[in-house]
Amino acid sequence: MAQHNEAPIRVGLLGAGTVGSQTARLLVEQRDELSQRIGRDIELVGVACLDPDEVDFPWIDRSLLTSDTMAVATNADIVVELIGGLEPARTFVLAAIESGASVVTANKALLAKYGPEIYQAAEAKGVDIYFEAAVGGAIPIVRPLRESLVGDKVTSMLGIVNGTTNYILDEMTTKGLDFDVALKDAQAKGYAEADPTGDIEGHDAANKAAIMATLGFHTNIGIDDVTVEGITKVTADDIAAATAEHKVVKLLAVVENGEAGVSARVYPALIDENHPLASVHGSFNAVFVKAEAADDLMFYGRGAGGAPTASAVVGDVVTVARHIAQGCTGPAITLYNDLPKAPIEASKAAFAVRFVIHDKPGVLAAIAEEFAKRGVSINGVNQDLKPTLHEPGYSGELQQLRLVTHLTDEVTLRETVEAVCRLDFVTGEPSILRVL
Which residues are marked as active site?
Answer: 208
Do residues 312 and 138 make contact, with C-beta atoms less than 8 angstroms apart?
A: yes
Half-sphere exposure of 14 (CA within 13 A, CB side): 31
d(CA 49, CA 20): 10
- DSSP-derived secondary structure letter, 147: I
249 pairs with which residues across the strands?
270
Q: Is the dihedral of CA 202, 208, 210, 213 positive or negative?
A: negative
380 pairs with which residues across the strands?
404
Do residues 227 and 265 make contact, with C-beta atoms less than 8 angstroms apart?
A: yes
How far CA 365 is from CA of 234, 368, 376, 381, in Å, comes to 27, 5, 14, 12
d(CA 57, CA 214): 37
What contacts 361, CB < 8 A, 6 or more positions away? none
Q: Can you spell out the DSSP letters for 64-123?
A: GEES-HHHHHTS-SEEEE---SSTTHHHHHHHHHHTT-EEEE--HHHHHHHHHHHHHHHH
What contacts 247, CB < 8 A, 6 or more positions away? 270, 271, 272, 273, 278, 435
Pairing of the two strands 348-358 and 408-409: antiparallel
Question: Between vectors from CA 255 to CA 272 and to CA 246, what angle results, nearest 5°?
Answer: 5
Mapped onto helix, strand or coil, the DSSP state of residue 347 is coil
Q: How many angstroms from the chain centroid is the CA of residue 177?
A: 24
Q: Is the dihedral of CA 139, 145, 147, 153 positive or negative?
A: positive
How far CA 108 is from CA of 3, 134, 153, 175, 203, in Å, comes to 35, 5, 24, 32, 10
d(CA 183, CA 196): 9
d(CA 316, CA 320): 6
